[in-house]
Homo-oligomer: A and B are copies of this chain.
Amino acid sequence: MTYVHGYTDRETRRLLEQSLILEELLHSGTRYNEGSRVLEAGCGVGAQTLIIARRNPGIELISMDISLASVSKAESMVHQAGYRNVTFLQGDIYKSGFGHASFDHIFVCFLLEHLSDPLGALLIMKSLLRKGGTITVIEGDHGTGVWSPETEASRLAWDGLIRSQLYLGHDPFIGRRLFPLLDSAGFRNIDVTPRPVYSDRSNPELLDGVVNRIITPMVLSAGERVMGQQLLTRESWEKGLKDISSVASTGEGSFFYTWFKGCGIRL
Q: Complex Cα distance A193/B200, Å?
A: 10
A256 touches which one: B148, B194, B198, B202 (CB < 8 A)?
B194
Given contacts A141-B256, A256-B141, A258-B256, contact A202 B173 (CB under 8 A): no
Q: Complex Cα distance A187/B189, Å?
A: 45
Which B residues are CB-close (under 8 A) to A196? Answer: 194, 196, 258
Query: Do the beta carbons of A183 and B251 come within 8 Å of each other?
Result: yes
178-218 of chain A: CB within 8 A of chain B: 179-180, 183, 190-194, 196, 198, 200-202
Q: Complex Cα distance A260/B180, Å?
A: 27
Query: Do the beta carbons of A150 and B176 come within 8 Å of each other?
Result: yes
Query: Do the beta carbons of A179 and B201 come within 8 Å of each other?
Result: yes
Number of identical monomers bound together in the oligomeric complex: 2
Query: Do the beta carbons of A198 and B193 come within 8 Å of each other?
Result: yes
Interface residue A252 (Cβ < 8 Å from any Cβ of B): yes
Query: Do the beta carbons of A200 and B173 come within 8 Å of each other?
Result: no
139-172 of chain A: CB within 8 A of chain B: 141, 143-144, 146-148, 150
A205 to chain B, nearest CB (A): 15
Given contacts A194-B196, A202-B190, contact A177 B254 (CB under 8 A): yes
Query: Do the beta carbons of A144 and B147 come within 8 Å of each other?
Result: no
Given contacts A183-B201, A192-B202, A202-B192, contact A176 B146 (CB under 8 A): yes
Which B residues are CB-close (under 8 A) to A253? Answer: 180
Which B residues are CB-close (under 8 A) to A179? Answer: 200-202, 254
Q: Complex Cα distance A177/B150, Å?
A: 10
Closest 3 CB pairs of A and B: A179-B200, A143-B146, A180-B252
**Could you show 5 A-B contacts with beta carbons less than 8 Å apart?**
A141-B256, A146-B176, A192-B198, A194-B198, A194-B256
